[in-house]
Each structure stands twice: as structure tokens, then as C-alpha cells.
Chains A and B, each alone.
Chain A
Amino acid sequence: MKTTGTFAEAGADLEFVDISKRFPGFTAIESLNLTIPAGSFFALLGPSGCGKTTTLRLVAGLEEPSAGRILIGGKDVTNTKSFQRPVNTVFQSYALFPHMTILENVAFGLRRRKIDDPLGKAHEALRLVELDHLAARRPAQLSGGQQQRVALARAIVNRPALLLLDEPLGALDLKLRRQMQLELKSIQTEIGLTFLHVTHDQEEAMTMADIVAVMNKGEIEQMGAPEQLYELPRTAFVANFLGQSNLFTGQVTDSTADFITVDIAGRGIVVPRTRAQRHAGEVTIGVRPEKLMLHTDAPAAGAGINILGPGRVTDVSFSGVSTSYIVHIPGLGAVTVFAQNMVFGPVVNEGAEVWVSWTVDHGFGLEDEPTPGSRFPADASTNAIAIQRRAALETELEGA
């Protein structure tokens, strides 16, 4: 390349079209379609092994998809190499080059693209993360939090159209984590890049991202603003992965234009029709533990209120801001209630007889089949088994 490189003008859209990624013996991602709008802070949230890191590596060009196309800013990059993509990654392990100074680490990408004044721009990026005074040091002489900021500076100094963050806060302690979350968010707002953040930490995803996509078994379960995902989860997985939920299954007994009524342990529980995904047959409905009220006397039934009980308190655990009660209701099982500590100590003790109630508007209905099967059936073809055996044997041989 003779010409000097240029920076991306702005963040770019990222688009997945029917992306699949299969590894020998298992499928990591199955026909994923996803558009991440330019300039957004997008979090991909899911448990380990859900395919989120593979998704990130596909964007970075460190893995090749088995099928489908990836577009960045409308341009098909599926067949371009990692170093040709306008994308930079903050790696989970930071991957700072141990044999270079902090300054040279940050200037590495600029030098490769022959951008003018790499050292000046590297200093500028280091000032942004408040580490310019350590520019002459080696990565090994920095603390974990400092290394993380260098990794961030090394990526954003290139002004990529798309910045990928692979659980970069995983190794930090809680206080540093909170601080870095805020810093990341303010840097993103300041420079207006598109951020794609992969994490298994739901709190991190919710505090930082504009849009959260919850991923499970290689598919996106639900996508939306954090509040929307929390208040109206569509699947049991989302309801339990993002915070906690009390879920009940029953038959729909009545359905009007505004509400559906579900038979839960003999009581008619009402859910707004717009907040329920299924309106007939057997459905699963839920409510968040902090939306529940505890009563020591049977509350008066009324419109707009759902009541369950009586049940017995089987566990009380105090956690400072709130107290968590587990109430065992015959025919239903355990129900979790979070109550704010408005008074000193718990309101009721273990063994007390209680009722729980919640406002109808707080309930939600899920779209899952009440007995969900696993999405990817185990690949039991002889070929797949042979490949896995071989891989296992090879690793064993290496160990010997």
C-alpha cells in the first residue's frame, strides 16, 4: 500500500445474512440474521457456549462462516481477511504485545496502515484513557485495569467503523468494572463508533448497551432496549437469564379483547393481552419477584390485582437494600418475592402464612411451548462421532 491510510468517517451498520457456523460435531450458530445500526452500543448477551464469541470472531474475520454473508456498512466482507476489515477488537485476554512498549502497542495498527504521525495519535489515544504517563512501559508492568484501558486505546486509535469488545471487563474487580463500564460508554458517545459488546454479565449489558440481544444455543432469543427486555421477556430463557422471574404454567380459560385469564392452581390469573405472546391453550406466564407484594392476611380481591396463596415462607435472606423471601404455595411450588427494606428487618419470618399479589399490568406471557425441547438435537451421525473421537485422541496424544 503506497497511499496513506484514512480513518473511518463514522460507525457503520453491521449486517448478518443467514450466517451459520458449524464446527466438527456441533453447530455454533444456525442461520443468524441480525442488523446492528451504525453508532449504536449493541450487546450480545448469553451464557458461555451460546455462540456469542463465535459471532464476534466471525465479524473480526478470525473465523470463516460455514454459510451466509457478513456486511459492514453495506459492503460484503465475508471473503476478506481479518487485516483488511475496518474492524478492531478488544480481546478478552487483552492480547497486548509483551515485547513492545505501551506506546508501540497503541501505534501498531496505525503503522500497519501507514497513517501519518502514528506516535502523536497513539499519545492522544492514551490520553483519552488517562495512561499517557505510562507510554514507555511494557504491558507486564501494568495492572489489569490499566492493561484493559491500553487494549481499548489500541483498538479505538484506529477509528474502526466497528469496535468489537470480547468480555473485556471479565478480569476486573467490581469497582474497576463499574468505572470502566462508565468510561467505555462515555468514549462510545464521544467518538460515535458502533460498538459490539459480547458478555455473559446481564448487568453489564443492561447498563451499557442501547440494544441488547440475548443469545442462546446459536440463536437470538430476543432483542431490544434493556428496559423492554427486562419488563417484557418473550421466552423463559430471557425471563431467567435477565434477572429472575416467577413462572407459572396453566390453561387459558378466558380471553377478551384486553386480557387473557389463565388457570393457575385453581385461581384465575389475568395478563394483559398485549403483554402475552400466546392467547390460547396451555401458556406460561410470569412476574418479576420485585413486582410481588407480601400479605399476612388474605388481600381483598379486586379488578387489576392478581392474588396467589396462601403459602408458607420457607426462606428469608437479607441482602441490604432488599429482602428475598421464598414462599411455598401448595400446587405451585416456590415463588420468590423481593421486598424493599422500608422498615428494619424482615416483615415476616420463616413459617409465616402469606399471600402474594401483583398488579395485572406487571405480568407477562411467554411464547415458549410449556415443555421446550432442546433446539439442536445431538449430532449423532457416525461421521460427527468419528471426527470428535479423532480430535479427542489427538489431544490425548499431545498430552502424552
Chain B
Amino acid sequence: MTAPPLETSNPSPERAAAPRPRRRFAGLGLPIYVTLALVFLLIPIAYTFVFSFNDSAKSNIAWRGFTFDKWLTVCNEPGLCEAFGNSILVGVVATALATALGTAIAIALVRYRFRFRSSISLLLFLPMATPEVVLGAGLAAQFLALGTQKGIVTVILAHTMFCISFVVVTVKARVASLDPALEEAGRDLYGSPAQVFWRITFPLLLPGILAAALLSFALSFDDFIITNFNSGAVDTFPKFIYIAAARGIPAEANVVASAVFIIAILIVVVSQVSRSARQKRLAKLG
């Protein structure tokens, strides 16, 4: 080799340290900081998970030994599985309603010009900006004024209402990035309005719609404040935990919480893996 080796490619330790002492500090400090932050974030989850295996008696605060019993007999705890079922039911119905309505609103807001369009855009932000306590109390007052019996229907209505805003915001971004020429091409190629929607618009918006639905479900599933105001005697999972907290949360609640967490993680991992597999396949084709 006649050419002199590049100095930057293999710097001596003194050289690297001398001109940039700050970087050395950052090089050590950053991992420590990140580790601490992650530990801090993960402690409650880890605690919940670990204590779902606790052979607890009355309260689930002291560790009394490892057992699978709580996982196997989770529905023995009175009211827990019923509350969990209610939460799933409310989440699914509210998500379906909010996603359908919100998607339609998002398309209308982006694609069409009409009276009060900007005001509607603005009003849709209000449920997101208003404190939940105010929203919950306001809705409760309305249901009272109408003489509606509080129950699962009122909870679904309340959840649908605040989820719509999130759906509109999420889907709107997707609609805005959709080239109108694609829909025009669909019409030009003999597609009726319904065919154009289901074969072109909908599949292209689907990633946005799915993201909006997941967000809605997550928001609905763990909502406590608005639910508490409008549910009457019906319990949802967050409400069950809140009430149980007064006399000691049973380990079965930890089991449900851990299961939900694991399912959510699994969904994310599966979707990531399938996406990267698809990209690899496309890359191979291209």
C-alpha cells in the first residue's frame, strides 16, 4: 500500500478524546440516562406482571409466593370478567361507530367545499381540548335532562363522541395525501361512485382507518373519567380497578392488565414482522 492510511478511519484514543471531551461524557451519560428512563417507565408494568403471579390472599401488596392460579381462575373474582367484557363491548361498538362516522367526516372535510366547513373542522378539536371531567359532567347533565337511563348505551355514546375527533384527525391526514386523480381515474374507468369508494378510496385509506380504529379502541378501553360520569351501575374494567383499589386490587386484575399488555405487544410485533417480510419480498421482485 503506497497511499497513506486515512487518519480518521482509525484514530488513536488520545486524538479522539482531546478535541471532543463533551462527546465522551455524552457517550457515557446518554446510555445511563436512557436506561434509567426506561426502567422508570417499565417498573409499573413489570410490577403488575410479576404480581399477577402472586399467591395473594386479601390484598396484593406483599409477595406471598409464585402461582399460576390467578391466571387459571381469573373469572372467579366477582365482577372482574363482567367489567372486562363490558369494556371490550363498549370499545368495539364505540370504535366501529366512531371510525365509520369519523372517516366519512374526514373525507367530506378534505374533498368537498361546503358551508360551515371550517367551523366544523374547529369544533371537532373541542372534545380533544376539553378536560375530560367537564366533558363527562356535561354529558351526564344532558342524559339527565333527557331522562335517559344511564348504562352501557350511554357509555357507548359518550365514547363514540370523543373518539370521533381522533378518528377525523388521523384519517384526514391520510385523505389529504391521497391523489384525487386516483379516484378520478376510477370514475373514468367505469367505476360507479360505490365501486370507486370500495375499490380505490377505501383500500388506500385503510392504513389510516386502522390506525384510527386502534387509537379509538385504546382510548375507549382505558377511559375512566367520562365513563364514571355516564355509566350508572354498569362497570367497565377501569372502573372496576378504581373501585377495587379502595379495598385492595385483586391479583386477577393484574392478570387481565398483563394479558392486555401482552396482546398489544404481540399485535405490534406481528404487524412489524409481516411488514418487513412484505418489504423484503417486494425488494426481491424489484
User: Judging by beta carbons under 8 Å apart, are B190 and A95 in contact?
Assistant: no
- Count of B interface residues, CB-CB < 8 Å: 24
Say yes or no: B204 contacts A158, CB within 8 Å: no
Stretch at the interface among B28-36, B161-169, B177-185, B237-245: B177-185
CB atoms of B282 and A138 under 8 A apart: yes
Instruction: Return chain B residues, CB-CB under 8 Å to A95.
Output: 179, 181-182, 184-185
**Contact A158 B190, beta carbon cutoff 8 Å:** yes
Interface status of A316 (Cβ within 8 A of chain B): no
* Interface-centre pick from B113, B188, B200, B282 (highest chain A CB count, 10 A): B188
Evaluate contact between A91 and B191: CB separation under 8 angstroms: no
CA distance A330 to B195 in the complex (A): 68
A108 vs B118: C-alpha distance in the bound complex, in angstroms?
A: 36
- Min C-beta distance of A133 to chain B, whole Å: 12
Residues B271-286 near A (CB distance < 8 A): 282, 285-286
Q: How far is the CA of A94 from the CA of B247 in the complex (A)?
A: 66
In-complex Cβ contact of A83 among B118, B192, B282 (8 A)? B192
B186 at the interface (CB under 8 A from A): yes
| Cβ contact of B184, chosen from A91, A137, A158, A398, cutoff 8 A | A91
- If over half of B's interface residues share one DSSP class (helix, strand or loop), that class is named, otherwise mixed; here it is helix
Contact A97 B185 (CB under 8 A): yes
Please pick, from A62, A99, A112, A394, the residue contacting B204 in the complex, using a CB distance under 8 A: A99
Which residue of B185, B189, B192, B200 contacts A158 across the interface (Cβ within 8 Å)? B189
Q: Is the CB of B181 within 8 A of A83?
A: no
Residues in A whose Cβ lies below 8 Å from that of B190: 5, 83-84, 109, 112-113, 158
Interface string of A33-67 (1 = CB under 8 A from B): 00000000000000000000000000011100000
CB neighbours (8 Å) of A87 from chain B are 188
Whether a CB of chain B sits under 8 angstroms from the CB of A255 is no
Tell me whether B138 is interfacial, beta carbon within 8 Å. no
| B118 neighbours in A (Cβ, 8 Å) | 394, 397-398
Rounded to whole angstroms, the CA-CA distance of A83 and B196 in the bound complex is: 10
> Which residues of chain A have C-beta atoms less than 8 A from B285's C-beta?
136-137, 141
Q: Does A243 contact B (CB under 8 A)?
A: no
Q: Is the CB of B184 within 8 A of A82?
A: yes
CB distance from B69 to the nearest CB of A (A): 49
Q: Once the chains bind, are B187 and A83 in contact (CB under 8 Å)?
A: yes
Cβ of A20 < 8 Å from any Cβ of B?
Answer: no
The contact size tier of chain A is 20 to 34
B131 lies within 8 A of chain A by Cβ = no
**Are A62 and B187 in contact, CB atoms less than 8 angstroms apart?**
yes
* Contact flag A62-B188 (CB < 8 Å), given A93-B179, A99-B204: yes
Q: How far is the CB of B105 from chain A (nearest CB, A)?
A: 15
* Alpha-carbon distance between A97 and B282 when the two chains are bound, in angstroms: 17
- Whether B203 is near chain A, meaning CB under 8 Å from some CB there, is yes
Q: In the complex, which residue of chain B has the Cβ closest to the Cβ of A57?
A: B184
Q: Using Cβ atoms and an 8 Å threshold, which residues of chain B touch A397?
A: 118
How distant is the Cα of A95 from the Cα of B184 in the complex, in angstroms?
8
Within 8 A of A (CB), among B248-286: 282, 285-286
Q: Are A97 and B200 in contact (CB under 8 A)?
A: yes
Tell me if A89 and B203 are in contact (CB < 8 A).
no
Contacting residues, chain B, for A62 (C-beta < 8 A): 184, 187-188
A92 to B196, CA, bound (A): 20
Instruction: Judge if A351 is at the interface, Cβ distance under 8 Å.
Output: no
Name which residue of chain B comes closest to A88, CB basis.
B188
- Of chain A, the residue at the smallest CB distance from B117 is A394
- List which B113-155 residues lie within 8 A (CB) of chain A: 113, 117-118
Nearest residue (CB) in B for A82 is B187
Cβ–Cβ < 8 Å partners of B113 in chain A: 394
Return chain B residues, CB-CB under 8 Å to A99: 203-204
Q: Which residues of B contact A89 (CB under 8 A)?
A: 184-185, 188
| Closest partner residue, chain B, to A5 (CB atom) | B190
A47 to chain B, nearest CB (A): 22
Measured in the bound complex, the distance between the Cα atoms of B179 and A92 in whole Å is 12
The distance in angstroms between the C-alpha atoms of A99 and B186, with both chains bound, is 13
22 A-B contacts (beta carbon < 8 Å): A60-B188, A61-B187, A62-B187, A83-B187, A88-B188, A91-B184, A93-B179, A95-B179, A95-B181, A95-B182, A95-B184, A95-B185, A97-B182, A99-B204, A108-B186, A109-B189, A136-B285, A137-B286, A141-B286, A394-B117, A397-B118, A398-B118
**A-B pairs, 4 with minimum CB distance:** A109-B189, A95-B185, A112-B190, A95-B181
Residues of A participating in the B interface, judged by any CB pair closer than 8 Å = 5, 60-62, 81-84, 87-89, 91-93, 95-99, 108-109, 112-113, 136-138, 141, 154, 158, 394, 397-398
